[in-house]
Amino acid sequence: MALTQMQLIQSLGEAMSWFERELSWGVPPTELWHLCGRIGELYAALITNGQMATEVNQEGYDVVSGEGERISVKTTATMGLSGHVSFNSNSLELVDRVIVLRVNTEEMQIETLLNAPIEEALHLMSSARDGRRLSLPLGRLGRREKPHRSLKILRQINVEGFTVRELENGSIEVMQAGTRVVPAKPTLRKLARRHNLSLLNSRGNPLNTRQLGSWILRSLSDAGV
């Protein structure tokens, strides 16, 4: 049975909540591959105004877009550019488009690493050792960071030699002596501890970078830091 857009949104939210809960129990994200895959397929169906494939383990593709494209969806929780995703070379002829997603466990958000027609995706793949599969190294999907110079700064504080600011797209930046600190989360955690701010949300789960940055900005601004 086809899912409505609202049902896709609800299912995605429930899957993400369960994923976050498993992480809070100490389960490594790479062991949650089945849940990670489900999140990716739901997200791909949502952004393409499409539907999940009609059969479980549908051969070749996972989602059919609103425009009728058959989409193979691969989802990883691996951070950085190491690792790869693989495809069955015998069933790629059934695929029109490839979408590769990453569940960013620091921000608890879904990132699109690749969204391309199959012809373009094939140029990035190489044959695996078994000869039956094609491998797509994540290193070939390195995301170029978009400049933030055109984004408005919504809030900003200077504390202990750092500048913490929230941009209009919701991202948090930490600057030191005019240089961006990457990753920002370790510095944010240090600042939170020094000012006796909790690192956990109301459910006892660790705050992600955006939540932690927003919490620091709000708390220290109210305290007149």
Q: Are 113 and 100 in contact (CB under 8 A)?
A: yes
Model confidence at 100: pLDDT above 70: yes
Radius of gyration of the chain (CA): 20
Model confidence at 18: pLDDT above 60: yes
CATH 3.40.1350 at 5-141, yes or no? yes
Model confidence at 141: pLDDT above 90: no
Q: In what order do the strands lie in the sheet with 109-117?
A: 51-52, 63-64, 70-76, 97-104, 109-117
Percent of the chain with pLDDT over 70: 93
Q: For residues 158-181, give the mean pLDDT.
A: 93
**pLDDT at res. 59:** 73
Which ranges in the chain are annotated with CATH 3.40.1350?
A: 5-141
Q: For residues 69-73, give the mean pLDDT.
A: 96
pLDDT in tens, 191-215: 999 999 999 888 787 888 999 999 9
Tokens for 106? 């620091």
Query: In 3-state terms, what secondary structure has residue 155?
Result: strand
**pLDDT at res. 57:** 57
Model confidence at 143: pLDDT above 60: no
Stronger pLDDT, 186 or 82, i.e. the higher one: 186
Q: For residues 68-89, give the mean pLDDT.
A: 90
In this prediction the pTM is 0.79
Q: For residues 159-183, give the mean pLDDT.
A: 92
**pLDDT at res. 73:** 96
